[in-house]
Structure 1
Amino acid sequence: MSGARTFVRGFVGVGAVRLCSILLALVTSIVLARTLGVESFGKYAFVMALVPLLSLPVAGGLAPLLTREIATYCHNDNWPLFRGLLRASHAWVLTCSLVLLLLAWLYVDADAAAGQGRLQLVMIALLLVPLGGVNAIRSGVLKGMGMPVRAVLPVQIIQSTLFLLALSLIGLAYSLNVVTVLWVQVAAALLAYLAGSWLLLRNRPAGVRHGPTSYETLRWSSSLLPFALLAAVGTFNSQIGILMLGMLGTDEQVGGLRVADRAAHLVGLPLTLVNMVIAPYIVRARGDGDQQRLQRLAQRAARGSFAIAITVAVPLVLFGSAVITFVFGDDFARPAYLPMVLLIAGYLVNVFFGSVGYLLSMSGFVRDSVKGQVASILVNVTLCALLVPVYGALGAAAGVALGMLVRNVLLAMLVRRRLGIRPGVL
């Protein structure tokens, strides 16, 4: 009962933070959409979709690896390895970030970087990569310590609030453009990193603050590879619609799809909250060999998530067009509504099957989770390439939704084979 109460408390806490984050992101999107317009908002959305891809060499897979390992070290009071992993991960992120930034600045011609096109925007956005890497370390460690609320607070609340406040204040005095917005994003990310570092230092176990340090560099490196592959295909999968639409479509269509995804993401929010809390509990259930507890955990999480998701989905489908028009403006209703409906269907499928990816990766079957992501991305890329030139944002949304279906069906089969439990609602 104590474990169940802790899980529910963590879910509610993370849920409150995530709900505030969603509201902040929604208000921010409204401000940006109405201030920048459809075309410039599409440019901003395209560049921000590139940031997770550019971050993969720096921090891809690092957060879930840290969550799994730190949860194990805390469970076994293995503080020397805790200290070693924390130091090694910081060294990795800082080294890779410096190399990436150096290569980028050497590759890009200074005159071209001073232009007003997408290249300049990408160069500014590159500064978010090292900040995202150190934030991934902090988040993964705090989640592994069983502190999911503290893990998500700096980025989802502090950074989002600072970003929105700065945009509002600057917008009162000056005309906002994409370059200014990106610089504000970088400044907010830096302040969030400082706040997150303070939280991590304050909440470290006493055994970590002093004592010997041990390293398992070879094992950590080999364990990081499948997590990195999973992060790579997962990140590419989540951004492929925006990226291919940006390359094959128009900035207006990109802006419409981003608005559609913001709305549809509310349907997937319950499962997102569960996944932010569930990882340490999966590790403990597997470590104790308690398969029945793992089955109950997976099924209850999926059922609770789906009940909330369907409640959100129905009014969005029925009244979504009017809501988009009222909130974002007439220019966004046409390119956003139908893609939103398709994305809602995809998110419902995702929630229905539950935390299949986390069940595999947190149980040591990361490669199996990669298989599902690869299958999904193949479907996604193929359909986007075929449909985007003809149907624009609607084609991209169809590719994303069908990719979600393929991924979840395959991962559910692998969960049953590897773990011997039934994931999902049924």
Structure 2
Amino acid sequence: MRFSAAHTVEQVLPSALSRRALPLADFIDGILTGADEASQAQRATMVAFFIRVASAAIAFGSQVALARLMGVFEYGVFVLVWVSMVIIGNLSCFGFHTAIIRFAPQYRERGDLDHLRGLLLSGRLFVLATSTTMACLAIALAWFGADWFQSYYVVPFMIGALALPMIALGDTLDGTARANGWPARALTPTYIVRPLLILVLLVGAWALGFRIDGVTALICAVIASYLTTIGQLVMVTASLDRRYPAGARRTRLAYWIGVALPIFLVEGFFFLLVNADVLMVGALMKPDDVAVYFATVKTLALVHFVYFAVKTGVAHRFAARIDDDDKSALHDLARRSVTWTFWPSLAMAGALLLVGPLLLGLFGADFTRGYPLMFILSAGIVLRAAIGPAESLLTMSGNQNACAAVFGAVLAINVALNALLIPIYGLYGAALATAIATIAETFALYQLVRWRIGVRMFVFMQPAKSRS
């Protein structure tokens, strides 16, 4: 029985299934080959961007439907628990999903397929082990620490924890696909398929007469996570088996984990930073307020997606160019990524502010009170877009420790400001705290990239000459 080092699933699933998995994703990713590096990065960014645009529309529509089906209170319960699970699932990778993006292109460029195969297999096994452990700890915490939580969060939290292994494995598969320049295979499962499945399952539960509340929604989310990740596993594994021949595996797990842990701090602090305001609103206010705040953030998600699309398209390119003696190609790509990020973000933020009341009104009459928050939050998002995927350049260039220190400090500022301002100004305090923290983050990352790499990653300083 063949056992590919790319962690083939033909052992447990029919090979015909893996060969036929999502041919559209294969076609989309196939158009990225055969061009020069800058063109490939730009095309990958565009593919990722259009996927994220589609996912923004799907996510927005599904969240509107969920809010309408559940009501503002139960929707708030679902939102807080599911956001927490996505964060914990991502953290459960301990940075390995991003370490794959760093190491895989380097091994591929050197022709070191033994280490590449070992990396891909070790990453999946490591992440499954750590995320399963985190799921058990989360369930135990909810069970034995029920007195610490509001009663309406306990059961949903335990149910949501069941999805942690699949969320973490999905993030690892995302990183594997991105490392190989396959943005469609990286993003489609998580950002297109999973939200659609959650909505379809919840509507099915409603049609069958089940009570539609936070618990039911989380059960649907768990089922959707398993279906999505298993499908992505089949698809990505089949693609790896076609690209890399089966062969020996060489594993440097301790070394990879040593590099992944600082990346974990960067990714962890960043992920917490992005969601700190929602979590703090959940800790200090009622589910109704969580629902309104999250709906406002979700409405602005399209602006965020520009940044994430560019990051998806260029991160593995940064990693592949790190070892070059001549850094001019790396610097040029970094400066281009800023332009690709800022101007679309600015345009989208302006458009969303124009139609904000209409979009929030779709969630329900109670949600329109979040419209003024959009102005505060969008200002921070656009400012952050002005430096592009700066932390990706730092992480891929071995500056993950310094980047982690920046995000850790900014996260502390964000949490402290939320704790100070939310009791006084409510949801406005959360938005203001996030905007102030974003200003600090933007300035710190800009200076760090300039000092460590010699690139002025700011949209209005693009003509400045970088040092090689």
Cα distance in structure 1, aligned partners of 2:264 and 2:417: 25
Q: Give yes or no for the alignment of 1:227 onto 2:259.
A: no
The residue number in structure 2 matching 1:413 is 447
Q: Give yes or no for the alignment of 1:379 onto 2:446.
A: no
Cα distance in structure 1, aligned partners of 2:52 and 2:145: 41
Q: SS of the residue aligned with 2:92?
A: helix
Cα distance in structure 2, aligned partners of 1:206 and 1:320: 46
The runs of 5 or more residues in structure 2 that have no matched partner are 1-34, 461-468
Cα distance in structure 2, aligned partners of 1:71 and 1:77: 10
The residue number in structure 1 matching 2:190 is 155
Deviation at 1:296, TM superposition (A): 2.1
Q: Give yes or no for the alignment of 1:247 onto 2:283.
A: yes
Q: How does 1:266-345 map to 2 (within 5 A)?
A: 266-325=302-361, 327-334=362-369, 336-345=370-379
How many correspondences in the alignment? Answer: 423
The residue number in structure 1 matching 2:251 is 215
Deviation string, structure 1 residues 329-377 (Cα, Å, up to 9, x no partner)? 211001x112222110110011111111011001111112112211211
Check whether the contact 2:373–2:428 (CA below 8 A) recurs between aligned residues.
yes
The residue number in structure 1 matching 2:202 is 167
Q: How does 1:177-216 map to 2 (within 5 A)?
A: 177-204=213-240, 208-216=244-252
Instruction: Flag the 1:21–1:57 CA change in 2: closer, same or farther, 3 A.
Output: closer
Deviation at 1:111, TM superposition (A): 12
The residue number in structure 2 matching 1:355 is 389
Q: SS of the residue aligned with 1:83?
A: helix
133, 136, 150: which one aligns with 1:99 = 133
Instruction: Flag the 1:183–1:389 CA change in 2: closer, same or farther, 3 A.
Output: same
Cα distance in structure 1, aligned partners of 2:457 and 2:126: 35
Cα distance in structure 1, aligned partners of 2:137 and 2:306: 40
Q: SS of the residue aligned with 1:92?
A: helix
Q: Give yes or no for the alignment of 1:21 onto 2:23.
A: no
Check whether the contact 1:79–1:207 (CA below 8 A) recurs between aligned residues.
no
Cα distance in structure 1, aligned partners of 2:350 and 2:227: 38
**What amino acid sits opposite 2:288 in the alignment?**
E
Check whether the contact 2:262–2:401 (CA below 8 A) recurs between aligned residues.
yes
TM-score between both structures, scaled by the size of structure 1: 0.94
Give every structure 1 segment of 4 or more consecutive aligned residues whose post-TM-superposition deviation is greater than 6 Å: 110-113
**What amino acid sits opposite 1:425 in the alignment?**
V
Cα distance in structure 1, aligned partners of 2:298 and 2:259: 33
Cα distance in structure 2, aligned partners of 1:274 and 1:47: 29
The runs of 5 or more residues in structure 1 that have no matched partner are none
Check whether the contact 1:74–1:145 (CA below 8 A) recurs between aligned residues.
no
Cα distance in structure 2, aligned partners of 1:52 and 1:371: 23
Deviation string, structure 1 residues 215-264 (Cα, Å, up to 9, x no partner)? 11221121011011112211221221111111111211111110111122
Give the helix-richer structure, 1 or 2. Answer: 1
Instruction: Flag the 1:109–1:413 CA change in 2: closer, same or farther, 3 A.
Output: closer
Q: SS of the residue aligned with 1:213?
A: coil
Q: Give yes or no for the alignment of 1:364 onto 2:398.
A: yes
TM-score between both structures, scaled by the size of structure 2: 0.86
**What amino acid sits opposite 1:295 in the alignment?**
H
Cα distance in structure 1, aligned partners of 2:135 and 2:364: 38
Q: How does 1:32-71 map to 2 (within 5 A)?
A: 32-55=66-89, 58-71=92-105
The residue number in structure 2 matching 1:82 is 116
Q: Cα RMSD between the aligned structures?
A: 2.1
Check whether the contact 2:44–2:313 (CA below 8 A) recurs between aligned residues.
yes
Check whether the contact 1:90–1:137 (CA below 8 A) recurs between aligned residues.
yes
Cα distance in structure 2, aligned partners of 1:111 and 1:293: 53
Identity %: 26
263, 278, 281: which one aligns with 2:299 = 263
Cα distance in structure 1, aligned partners of 2:204 and 2:172: 31
Deviation string, structure 1 residues 50-103 (Cα, Å, up to 9, x no partner)? 113433552132221111111111111211111211222222122223333334
Cα distance in structure 2, aligned partners of 1:354 and 1:105: 38
